[in-house]
Amino acid sequence: MARETIVTCAVTGGHMNFHKHPNFPITPKQIAEACIEARQAGAAVTHIHVRDPETGDRSADPAHFREVVERIRDSGSDVLINLTTGEGGRYVPSDDDPRVGGEETTLNPPEVRVRHVLELRPDICTLDMGTMNFGEHVFMNTPGHLRRMAELIKDAGVKPELEVFDTGHIRLANEFVEQGLVESPPLFQLCLGIAYGAPATPKMVQVMHDMLPENANWAAFGISRWEFPIVAEVVNSGGHVRVGLEDNLYLGKGEFGTNGQLVDKAVRIMRELDAEPVEPARAAEMLELLPRQQ
């Protein structure tokens, strides 16, 4: 029998190379349509960032999240919704005083970073489990802030997806599970290939997989040209799959893809390896999600 596999599509992200793609989803309407397209192609989960509709820049505006979620739910799509909490974690020291954040700093308290999750009660939300250099800025997630975010997410009845960009992040995430801040079975996402984080290699998939709790549900993704090789590696290792325009703009060399096309290609690779994408209802069972609150 084919192994049941959950496909997540990360439809837009917060990176600033969106202008390279001729049809990149930016407005809430476009992002919602991308989620629906991904579901039709075989994704059970959509991972959602939002953007300023006028500029395309990353955004944490709860109104944008609300519009995306309402459009998806009003469409009748059964896709599971996974909202980011990553916005509000960027630190860039000022030139005059590195103890003070410069103009590009977006640091927010935990309550602000999860306010849209508390309001909208998605099926899943991300929790980025560590601080790291991210391009030229610092992606700052202190243990104290993460504990508070984890408490709020748990109280809201939302499943956190523990985003780990390196091995030390897994150690902290495992502590959260042991301390009951994250309920079992935990859900991990191995984030591979981002500059100054873990590389997107088969060996790193195995190293990070071996560090996870035995009962963990887990997925992994590779960015850019590593997206589809990591799909194959993860399927062969028993994990779940993530693709989408957040991670990679191209279907093949020089050929831009849509979110639906990226999901479709991932599904074709999976099926060659005797894995079958599951429907959202089955994914919810596998992840032991709470029933969606209306």
Q: What digits encode the pLDDT tens for the residues 5-18? A: 999 999 999 988 88
CATH topology classification for 3-287: TIM Barrel (3.20.20)
Average pLDDT over residues 82-110: 95
Average pLDDT over residues 257-274: 98
pLDDT at 294 over 70: no
- Identify the pLDDT of residue 17: 87
pLDDT at 206 over 60: yes
pTM: 0.96
* CB hemisphere CA count around 207 (13 angstroms): 16
Mapped onto helix, strand or coil, the DSSP state of residue 129 is coil
pLDDT at 283 over 70: yes
Structural contact between residues 146 and 104, judged by C-beta atoms closer than 8 angstroms: no
Of 161, 225, 241, 169, whose CA–CA distance to 193 is shortest? 225
Average pLDDT over residues 48-73: 97
Average pLDDT over residues 182-195: 97
